[in-house]
Amino acid sequence: MNNLMTKSFLDYVELKKQALKDDAGNPFQDIEKASPTGTEEDLFLFFQEVASITSEMDNMSNLLFDLRQLHQETKSTHSPKILRGIADRMTSDMLSVLQKADDLKSRLRVLDSSGEAKRNVSPAFAHGSLVDRTRSSVIGGVRTKLREMMSEFQELRELILLDHREGLRRRYFAETGVLPNDEVLDRMASVGGSRGIFSSGKKGELEVEAEAEAEERRRAVGDLQRSLNRLHRIFLDMALVVEAQGEEMNDIESNVANAKSFIVGGTASLSDVSARRKKGRTGRFCLCAVGLAVAMIIVFLVLGFVG
């Protein structure tokens, strides 16, 4: 909905600017009518920045999808060389995600501070004004999208850790016939596969390759965990930036609710006044009718007396 709102407003301002250019040579055209107002220009720049921010968030979502696909590939291969290649691609994607997240955090801070500064410029930008409510509403949509993305990356982090431990569990059971407890799994995850868990001795080529695979998985999972933890901290910082705007949005909504109650109360009062007026008119009509009847009786009595 916010994307549609942003696009509609940007299209509106662009059309208005185009109308200004088209009518620039017409001496009979009121140029001022076609030129965007200060508030429209401010919202135009604001929506441009928000559109750019949401576009970057979409790019991050695409990288998240790619990370999920690569993680699925790691579950179907056992070659240390292929695993390293996949891990390198995942590391590259995570670096891109972290760079974009850092950039988004800075831009959200600038967006928030500019909104605070503009509130003191003129009443048109003051707290509770149309421009201020619009900015708060749109940033509230950005906050919702940000939270959804935070949850998705957190789910990926938990999935990678869960799948890694499940792989270690299967390997331990295949080699010992016993299901490992959490303590054993923690040791395997920390030292790399079965290294240091099983008795040492002469190992064949398959055992050496299995050890290399386990070590490569441990390294890849460790790198991804660190990157995802850093990304989560960045997301938390960004959430704090837009949280204040969200609280203001809630205040605005409560004010709207209060205004609605005032309107309902006023409507009830008007209805009560209307009922009283109607009742008063009915009473006056009854009095007039009684007075008319009394007058007619008096007339008849007078006529009878005269006759």
Report the CATH number that the domain containing residue 78 is assigned in CATH.
1.20.58.70
Return the minimum-mean-pLDDT range out of 93-107, 264-278, 279-293: 264-278
Whole-angstrom distance, CA of residue 306 vs CA of residue 135:
88
Would you place residue 28 in the very low, low, confident or very high pLDDT band (cuts 50, 70, 90)?
very low
138 lies in which domain range?
37-253
- Whether 193 contacts 211, CB under 8 Å: yes
User: What's the rounded mean pLDDT across residues 185-209?
Assistant: 63
Q: Is 306 exposed, middle or buried (0-12, 13-18, 19+ CB in 10 A)?
A: exposed
Q: What is the pLDDT of residue 59?
A: 94
For residue 147, being part of any structural domain is answered with yes
Q: Residue 208 pLDDT more than 50?
A: yes
Q: Residue 98 pLDDT more than 50?
A: yes
Q: What is the pLDDT of residue 261?
A: 46
Q: What is the pLDDT of residue 39?
A: 78
Whole-angstrom distance, CA of residue 173 vs CA of residue 157:
25
* Percent of the chain's residues with pLDDT above 90: 14
Higher pLDDT, 174 or 307: 174
For residue 71, being part of any structural domain is answered with yes
For residue 96, being part of any structural domain is answered with yes
Q: Residue 191 pLDDT more than 60?
A: yes
Whole-angstrom distance, CA of residue 289 vs CA of residue 282:
11
Domain count, the chain: 1
For residue 190, being part of any structural domain is answered with yes
For residue 304, being part of any structural domain is answered with no
Q: Residue 137 pLDDT more than 70?
A: yes
Q: What angle do CA 243, 149, 106 make, to 5 degrees?
A: 55
Would you place residue 259 in the very low, low, confident or very high pLDDT band (cuts 50, 70, 90)?
very low
**Each residue of 35-90: pLDDT tens digit?**
456 778 888 888 989 999 999 999 999 999 999 999 999 888 888 888 889 989 99
Whole-angstrom distance, CA of residue 71 vs CA of residue 77:
11
For residue 14, being part of any structural domain is answered with no
Q: What is the pLDDT of residue 31?
A: 39
Q: Residue 172 pLDDT more than 70?
A: yes
Q: What is the pLDDT of residue 294?
A: 61
Whole-angstrom distance, CA of residue 144 vs CA of residue 149:
9
Would you place residue 252 in the very low, low, confident or very high pLDDT band (cuts 50, 70, 90)?
very low
Q: What is the pLDDT of residue 94?
A: 92
Q: Residue 134 pLDDT more than 70?
A: yes
Q: What is the pLDDT of residue 32?
A: 43
Token pair recorded at residue 167: 């792989």
Q: Give the predicted TM-score (pTM) of the model.
A: 0.65
User: What's the rounded mean pLDDT across residues 216-221?
Assistant: 83
Higher pLDDT, 14 or 232: 232
Residue/partner pairs of 40-49 with CB below 8 Å, 24 or more apart = 40/13, 40/16, 41/13, 42/118, 42/125, 42/131, 43/9, 43/13, 43/131, 43/134, 43/135, 44/9, 44/10, 44/13, 46/111, 46/135, 46/138, 47/6, 47/9, 47/10, 47/138, 48/10, 49/107, 49/111
For residue 3, being part of any structural domain is answered with no
